[in-house]
Amino acid sequence: MIRAGIVGATGYTGVELLRLLLAHPGAEPAVVTSRGNAGERLDAMFPNLRGHTDLAFTEPDPGRLAECDVVFFATPHGVAHAMAGELLSRGTRVIDLSADFRIRDAELWSRWYGQPHGAPELLDQAVYGLPEINRARIPDARLIAVPGCYPTAVSLGFIPLLEAGLVDAAHLVADAKSGVSGAGRKAQVGMLLCEASENFKAYGVAGHRHLPEILQTLGDVAGTTPGLTFVPHLLPMIRGIEASLYAVLKDMDTDLQGIFEQRYAAEPFVDVMPPGSHPETRSVRGTNRCRIAVHRPQGGDTAVVLSVIDNLVKGASGQAVQNMNLMFGLPETAGLDGIAVLP
């Protein structure tokens, strides 16, 4: 049984990670830390865990965490910088759900996150944990950078088009929308019920922190840095991301449906839907699945890709567990084959 530690488990990605690990057939949470809630039982904060664990939060002690086989960081940016190096030196593998190791350029990371990168010496070790493009590298990785939620939905939608060189990579558009849980579990005026309910708005149009991550990923696939207009929006719902993606085709005779079906035929967590489909966020709620549909409106020169995920699962904690499964030689779908909850 894999012994897992979780640093910073009081947020939404933390409790989602606990939910998945407590039901996992080959792993269990052994150490769960929180400076502000040390001594408090997990199920006192998260009543959905009652009857599933007797664990309490503890102070983040590197010695205790190093006794785990793997440590997950479900923390704000900058925290993993300070602790990951010591854990790695003691032989513990690290899966970071924050943005600390996603961007390979330390200076670029600093510009977008407003502080110096705290562990640039570890960047060469970090493997970007999107299994659909990096599966071969993940089993041997010591440090995994779990992709962000928007980058996951957007990248999975564009990858087949860019890999095959089917579209003009200089003029891509990603119109993406997220539920409120994507902003985290913190007090913030814009996230209050009276502010977010029955409301719909764009934000970060001038530049969102996920943009350089998306550009890096798509650049690796395309072989050149693409041109991308990325506009995120806030939806008045708790979970889910829908990304509507637009790209201009180079060849009007391209079989888009066939290309997407072939590219993702062996992917356990990407579902290419039948022609004419419109994937819904509720169809992936609580699951590690990305559902995709591809269209070419009016038979024109624009490919439209619709991509939906649960931002807390495939966009965060579920993808982290998927990486853990690959790292430790478990079936990739272990603990992740649940069915979405409807309605």
Q: What positions carry a catalytic annotation?
A: 149
Q: Name beta bridge partners: 228.
A: 172
Number of alpha helices (DSSP H) and beta strands (DSSP E) in the chain: 11, 13
Distance CA 333, CA 200 (A): 35
In angstroms, rounded to a whole number, what is the distance separating the alpha carbons of residues 254 and 249? 8
d(CA 8, CA 96) in angstroms, rounded, equals 11
Residue 302 burial class via C-beta count within 10 angstroms: exposed 0-12, middle 13-18, buried 19 and up:
middle
> What is residue 298's three-state secondary structure?
helix
CA separation for the pair 176, 153 (Å, rounded): 9
Residue 116 backbone class (left: φ over 0; alpha: ψ -120 to 50; beta: rest): beta
Distance from C-alpha of 288 to C-alpha of 320, rounded to nearest angstrom: 10
CA 187 vs CA 92, 181, 183, 193: distances in Å = 33, 12, 10, 11
